[in-house]
């Protein structure tokens, strides 16, 4: 797990057509959505991710791990791990996976509760919301673990 000197974290909700991105600050313990990036068969435009990393200067990257409800790995887990490894290799930043079960379902519910569009989620992706939910969960867990060690 990451060290205590983490200030800013970027979170990713990996998908084959869209990758949601969120940012989190450890001082406030809060995460928020940034954007949805288009992907083609799971391959992002790496220059867009590089631009976000240069702008935000994160200390750590978090990628949602799409586990099945019983905790086993889903078919997308291997691709998600490959994405996390590529983030680490390209940007020389620690990249960790974090359980994302139900985040897309919760993100769609959030969008609808906020009066979001009823149209296709393909046309109006909720991936950035899901990325925020994954990242907020990681931040909450990290802070709780750090406090219990203090």
- What pLDDT does 67 receive? 85
**CATH numbers and ranges of domains, the chain:** 8-149 (3.30.420.140)
pLDDT band at 4 (very low <50, low <70, confident <90, very high): low
State how far Cα 11 lies from the chain centre.
3
DSSP 129-147: HHHHHHHHHHHHHHHHHHH
Rounded mean pLDDT, 24-47: 94
pLDDT digits (tens, 9 = 90+) for 72-122: 888 889 999 999 999 999 999 999 999 887 655 454 555 445 555 544 444
- What pLDDT does 81 receive? 95
Question: Is the entire prediction scored with pTM above 0.85?
Answer: no
């Amino acid at each position: 797990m990451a060290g205590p000197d983490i200030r800013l974290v970027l979170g990713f909700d990996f998908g084959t057509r869209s990758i949601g991105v969120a940012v989190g600050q450890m001082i406030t313990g809060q995460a928020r959505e940034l954007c949805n990036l288009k992907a083609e068969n799971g391959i992002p435009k790496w220059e867009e991710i590089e631009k976000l990393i240069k702008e935000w200067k994160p200390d750590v990257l978090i990628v949602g791990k799409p586990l099945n409800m019983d905790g086993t790995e889903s078919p997308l887990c291997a691709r998600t791990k490959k994405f996390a490894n590529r983030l680490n290799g390209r940007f020389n930043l620690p990249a960790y996976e974090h359980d994302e079960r139900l985040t897309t379902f919760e993100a769609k519910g959030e969008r609808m509760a906020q009066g979001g569009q009823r149209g296709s989620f393909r046309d109006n992706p909720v991936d950035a919301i899901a990325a925020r939910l994954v990242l907020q969960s990681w931040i909450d867990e990290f802070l709780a673990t750090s406090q219990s060690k203090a």
